Structure 1
Amino acid sequence: MPEPAAWKYDKIIKKMFNEPAPERVFLGRVIPCVDNTVIEDGWVHIKDGKIAAAGPRPAALPAGVEVVDTGGKTLLPGLINSHAHLNWDGIHELSRQSMDDPRPISVFKAAGNMLKCLRAGVTLVRDLGFHDLNLFTKQAVEQGIFPGPRVLVSGAGIIQTGGHTYWVCREATGADEMRRAVREQVRGGADLIKIMACHDTLEFTDAELEAVIDESHRNRLPITAHATYDACIRRVAEFGVDCIEHGGSMTDETIQILLDRKLPIVTTFSALVLQADPEIGRAFGIPEWKIIERQHAVADKKRFDGLVRAARAGVPIVFGTDAGSPAVEHDSIAPELGFMVEVGVCRDNLDALRSITSRAAKLSKLDDRIGTLEAGKCADLIVVDGKPDSDLNALKRVQMTFIDGRRMH
C-alpha cells in the first residue's frame, strides 16, 4: 500500500468525540438487505461495536443487556451515499461557490452536511471531491475531531487543463502530470481517484487516460469516472476504470463491456428530480427555465433507457445522489430511491434498499464489514419509523443512527 498520509502518524491521546458503544438488543422489524427477506418480529444484538446476532426474535433475550424495543419500527443497515460532495450546500451556482467560499467556510459546510447525513441515517459517504478539502474531512472524522459518518474520499478530482469543472478540480496536462496529480491525492490520504472523463466532449488524450488509470492502480486505489454518454462510458471502461459515475445512454455493446468487466454504475437522478420541483428549485436559486427543462427531462423516461437496459442485463446499480449539487441536500434520500424504482433501474423497494446498503458496500470493497445486518459485521444500524419496503418515504423518518454501535443520532 502507499505511504500513509502525514496525519496518520499523529498520536491521538483522547478523541474530542468518542461516543460509547454499549451492548444492546434491538427489537423490531428487520430488513437485513442480504436478499428480499423481511423479518416482522426480529432482533439485532450488538456487542463491542459488532453485530452479535440478527434475525427472528429468539424465545429468550440475553440477560443483563439493554433492550431497545422500537415498537415495530424497522431496523436497517446504515445507508451509504456513494456519490456526494460534502463541501457543497446545494446552491445553484457551484462554480462561484467553489471559487469564492473561503476554505474555513467550506470546512464548516462539510461539518454541517455530515450532521445532516447522520440524521438521515447515512453512515458512509463516498465523497468525490472536487477540491482536496475532503481529505481533511476524513481526518476530522477518523481522529474524533468532529462526529460524522464513515468517509471515503477522492481528494481533488483530476481533469485535463480547462476541462469540465476546471474551477475546482486538479488540472493536469500530459501523462506525467496526470501521474503527479494522482500521487498528490495518494499523499494526502485519498481512498480512491476520481476523473472527469467528459462533458460535451471526450476529455483526456489516450496517453493521459492510460496514465491516470495506471497510476491509480499502481497505488492500489480504485479509480472512478464521471461518464454520462455512450462514447465516454465505453472508452473509460475499455481503458480500465473501476466504476462509472452517473451513466447515461448506452449501446448493447457498451453494456456488455460493463458486464464483462463487472463494472457498477452509481446513478444520480436527484438533481433532475429535485430541480423539477418548483418549491425546492426556487429555494436554491434554480432559474425558472431550468425548472421547466428538468420537468420535461423527468417526464421523458426514454432518456433513461440505457441505464434501465444495463440494470436489467445485470450491471450493478448503486445509489448516489450527487449531494451538494444544485438543490440536492445531504439528507435527501427517499426521492432518489423512489425514482430509481419508478424509472426501472431497481426492480422494487427492496432492490432499491440494497442499492444503498449491500451493493454500495460491495462497490467500496467493504462488504465484509458493513452493508447488511449479519453476525460479525460492524454495528452500523438505523431505526426507521415506518416500512421502507412498502413506502420509501419512511426513510424521511430515521429515529436513530448507529456506527460501530455508537449512537450518532
Structure 2
Amino acid sequence: MRRFAACTLGLALAAPLSVFAQSAPAPQTLVVTAAHLIDVLKGTVVDDPQVVITEGRIASVGLKGDAAPADAKRIDLGNRTLLPGLIDLHVHLTSDPTISGYRGLEFTDNFWTIVGVANAKKTLQAGFTTVRNVGSANYDDVALKQAIGAGYISGPRIVPATYAIGATGGHCDTTEFPPSVSAPSPAVANGPEEIRKVVRTLRKYGAEVIKFCGTGGVLSKTDSVGAQQYSLEEMQALVEAAHMLDMKVAVHAHGKAGIDAAIRAGADTIEHASLADAESFKLAKQHGTVFDMDIYNDDYILAEGARNGVFAESLEKERQVGLKQRQTFQAAHAAGVTLGFGSDGGVYPNGDNARQFAKMVEWGMRPMEAIQAATVTAGKVLGKEHDVGAIEAGRYGDLIAVSGDPLADVTVLQTVDFVMKGGVVEKSAD
C-alpha cells in the first residue's frame, strides 16, 4: 500500500512538469493572416501568409485565400510581420537587477518567486514564448513552470535548470559573507562523486537542463572573472551524469581555459564565452558546441549597476570583460561558431530581452541571422526543434507580430504587437 501511495504521489507531482504543457485550452481552429511572414528555416520572407492552427499546433502554412475550415476563428494582423515565438536560452526570471548586492537581504526567500511571476508575464508579453531559466533558488523556476502549465499565471514555456552547480568559493557559491554567516548552498559540490549526486538531485526535483559555473563571474564578489573553477575531470563527470539522464549542459564560462575545458568535456552550450579565442572557436565547431553571448547587458550594468547596489568589484570586472566579450562575439561569428540567443535577462530587466538583437547586428550578424539565433537555432539547442523555433506544420502555434520590417530595422522587435502561445492569444493587436 505504501509503495502504491508513493507511486501515485510521484505521478501527481510529475504531471505538471511535462515539457511545454499547454497553459490554457486553445480554440479548436484559428486562421492567422498578416502582410508578411519570416520563414526562419529558409531565411526568406513570405508575403500574404496564412497560418492555420488546430488544437494549439500549426496545421498548415500557406497563403491568404488557401482553403481553411469554414468554422475557424480568423485573426487578421493587417500590415504586420509574423515571426515564430522568440526563444531566450539564458534568463533568470526570479531576479530583479534593481535589487543587487546586499539589498537582496531585505526580502524574504519567497519574495523572489513573486518576482518571477511578474517577470514571466513581462517576458511573454515581449514576444518570448520559450525560455531556458539557467539558475534560480528554491526550485522557483520549476514552480513557475508548474503554475504556467496549470493556467494559474501567464508566462513562457520554461526549461528549468533549478540551482546552478558550482565549486566551493566559486561563482555559483555565496561568497559575500564572512565565515560566521552561513548560507544554504545545496548545489555547491566538489569532486566527481559529489557533482554526480547533485546532478541527480536537481533532476529529481524538476531540472530539465543542468547549468554549472566553469569559471568566475562578474556579479560574484570575490572571484576572478576568468579563472577556471572546475577541473576537466569534474566537468566530464558532470556532463556524463547529465547526458545519461538525457539532459543538456550549459556552462557559465568567461575565461578561455574554462571555456576550452568545458567544450572538451562535452558541454552543449557555453554561456558568456567572453574571452574565447581562435582555438576555442575551433574546438566549438569540432564538438558542435553553441555559444550564448549576452552582449547587450554590459550597457545596462555599467549605466545602472552602481545605483542598483552592484558590488564595486563586480563593476570593475564588467569593465574588464564587457567590450572584450563583444569583440569575441564578432570573431566567433566570423569564424562560423554557432551562436544562440542568450540575453541573461534578470541581470538587466526581464522583458527587455529583445534589446540584444540590435547589439548582435551591430557586432556582425545580419538581422535574419540574429532572428534565427532566437528561433530555429535556439529550438535545436533545446532539443525541441519539432515543437518550437519556426512557423511550420506540426510545431506549437507560437506566433508574434510586429509593425514594420525587422530585417530592415531589427529594433522593431523591441515592440511586439501580438503574442500567441500554443494557439492562445496572450497579447492582442487590437
Instruction: Give the structure-1-normalised TM-score.
Output: 0.88
Shift of 1:159: 0.4
CA RMSD of aligned residues (A): 2.9
One-letter amino acid of the structure 2 residue matched with residue 217 of structure 1 = H
Q: What is the match of residue 77 of structure 2?
A: 70
One-letter amino acid of the structure 2 residue matched with residue 203 of structure 1 = Q
Shift of 1:197: 0.5
Q: What is the match of residue 180 of structure 2?
A: none
Verify: 1:405 aligned to 2:411, yes or no. Answer: no
One-letter amino acid of the structure 2 residue matched with residue 178 of structure 1 = I
Shift of 1:281: 5.5
Shift of 1:322: 0.5
One-letter amino acid of the structure 1 residue matched with residue 286 of structure 2 = D
Question: Percentage identity across aligned positions?
Answer: 27
For the structure 1 residues 114 and 230, does the alpha-carbon distance in structure 2 shift closer, same or farther, using more than 3 Å as the test?
same
Q: Distance in 1 between matches of 2:318 and 2:200?
A: 38
Q: What is the match of residue 328 of structure 2?
A: 306
String of CA shifts for 1:98-123, please: whole Å, max 9, x gaps: x5542321110110001101110110
Q: What is the match of residue 291 of structure 2?
A: 265
Q: What is the match of residue 204 of structure 1?
A: 230
Q: Distance in 1 between matches of 2:266 and 2:320?
A: 35
Shift of 1:18: 2.2
Q: Distance in 1 between matches of 2:204 and 2:359?
A: 38
Shift of 1:261: 0.6
For the structure 1 residues 288 and 165, does the alpha-carbon distance in structure 2 shift closer, same or farther, using more than 3 Å as the test?
closer
String of CA shifts for 1:135-179, please: whole Å, max 9, x gaps: 222222223332221000111110011211312672112222111
For the structure 1 residues 358 and 65, does the alpha-carbon distance in structure 2 shift closer, same or farther, using more than 3 Å as the test?
same
Verify: 1:195 aligned to 2:212, yes or no. Answer: yes
Aligned 1:225-240 pairs, distance under 5 A: 225-240=251-266
Counterpart of 1:370 (choices 376, 388, 392) is 388
Mapped contact 1:272–1:294 kept (Cα < 8 A) = yes
For the structure 1 residues 283 and 160, does the alpha-carbon distance in structure 2 shift closer, same or farther, using more than 3 Å as the test?
closer
Q: What is the match of residue 342 of structure 2?
A: 320
Q: Distance in 1 between matches of 2:291 and 2:234?
A: 23
For the structure 1 residues 283 and 17, does the alpha-carbon distance in structure 2 shift closer, same or farther, using more than 3 Å as the test?
farther
Aligned 1:126-275 pairs, distance under 5 A: 126-131=132-137, 132-167=139-174, 170-199=187-216, 200=224, 201-275=227-301
Q: What is the match of residue 380 of structure 1?
A: 398
Aligned 1:114-133 pairs, distance under 5 A: 114-131=120-137, 132-133=139-140
One-letter amino acid of the structure 2 residue matched with residue 202 of structure 1 = Q
Verify: 1:350 aligned to 2:376, yes or no. Answer: no
Counterpart of 1:8 (choices 14, 17, 23) is 14
String of CA shifts for 1:224-255, please: whole Å, max 9, x gaps: 11011221111111112111111122232221
Q: Distance in 1 between matches of 2:228 and 2:416?
A: 41
Mapped contact 1:78–1:401 kept (Cα < 8 A) = yes
Q: What is the match of residue 41 of structure 1?
A: 48
The 3-state SS of whatever aligns with 1:159 is: coil
String of CA shifts for 1:298-325, please: whole Å, max 9, x gaps: 6x5x653333222222211111110111
> Structure 2, unaligned stretches of length 5 or more?
1-6, 175-184, 217-223
Q: Distance in 2 between matches of 1:282 and 1:96?
A: 12
Q: Distance in 2 between matches of 1:124 and 1:349?
A: 20
Q: What is the match of residue 182 of structure 2?
A: none
> Structure 1, unaligned stretches of length 5 or more?
none
Q: Distance in 1 between matches of 2:123 and 2:325?
A: 30
Mapped contact 2:165–2:172 kept (Cα < 8 A) = no
Q: Distance in 2 between matches of 1:229 and 1:295?
A: 15
Shift of 1:68: 1.4
For the structure 1 residues 322 and 303, does the alpha-carbon distance in structure 2 shift closer, same or farther, using more than 3 Å as the test?
closer
Q: Distance in 2 between matches of 1:84 and 1:91?
A: 16
Q: Distance in 2 between matches of 1:18 and 1:193?
A: 28
The 3-state SS of whatever aligns with 2:44 is: coil
For the structure 1 residues 281 and 211, does the alpha-carbon distance in structure 2 shift closer, same or farther, using more than 3 Å as the test?
closer
Residue correspondences, number:
396
Q: Distance in 2 between matches of 1:339 and 1:137?
A: 29
For the structure 1 residues 84 and 212, does the alpha-carbon distance in structure 2 shift closer, same or farther, using more than 3 Å as the test?
same
The 3-state SS of whatever aligns with 1:408 is: strand
Q: Distance in 2 between matches of 1:381 and 1:303?
A: 31
One-letter amino acid of the structure 2 residue matched with residue 310 of structure 1 = A
